[in-house]
Amino acid sequence: MPRYLLSLSVTALLLTGCAGDYAINSNLSRDNFEQYFAPSQVALLSADTPIGNATVLGLVEGISCQSDNRDVPANDADARTDMRLQAGKLGADAVRLHQCLALEEQPGCVAARACYGQAIKQGNVDE
């Protein structure tokens, strides 16, 4: 019986030692979510898409960089996403893609791809 009581009290002590009031630190914030989803707010248009009465806000560039041989290779999809993010910062709701190409001798990159396009603010569809 004393042996059973001893093992029960040791088990209870170990279980209470695991319980605690732990704080969780996270990088999640409203700003991070808004920035993460920002490119999805900018439509990607092909080069031959007519823009009608839309306003061209400027040229934008997106870059995808492979900083190390072990990293994911630079690719057009990441460069287009970066281009959409840059267009969104200008207040655009669309970007018309002109071209993507490989960059040579991009500082800090083993390989790099860039996409170029026009940031566009389209008029309301109801107008």
User: What string of DSSP letters covers 16-39?
Assistant: HHH-----------HHHHHHHHGG
Secondary structure element (H or E) that encloses residue 3, with its range: helix 2-18
Q: What is the pLDDT of residue 9?
A: 74
In this prediction, residue 96 has a pLDDT band, given cuts at 50, 70 and 90, of very high
Within a domain: 11: no
- Mean pLDDT for 90-114 is 94
Within a domain: 92: yes
**Is-above-0.75 flag for pTM?**
no
The amino acid at residue 54 is A
Within a domain: 25: no
Within a domain: 15: no
User: Distance between CA 114 and CA 62 in Å, rounded?
Assistant: 5
Condensed to tens digits (0 to 9), the pLDDT of residues 9-55 reads: 777 766 665 556 666 666 666 666 556 566 778 999 999 998 889 99
- Mean pLDDT for 102-125 is 90
Within a domain: 114: yes
Tell me the CATH number at 119.
Answer: 3.30.110.70
Domains identified in the chain, total number: 1
Percent of the chain with pLDDT over 90: 56
Pairing of strands 43-45, 94-103: parallel
Q: 125 φ, ψ to 5°?
A: -65, -30
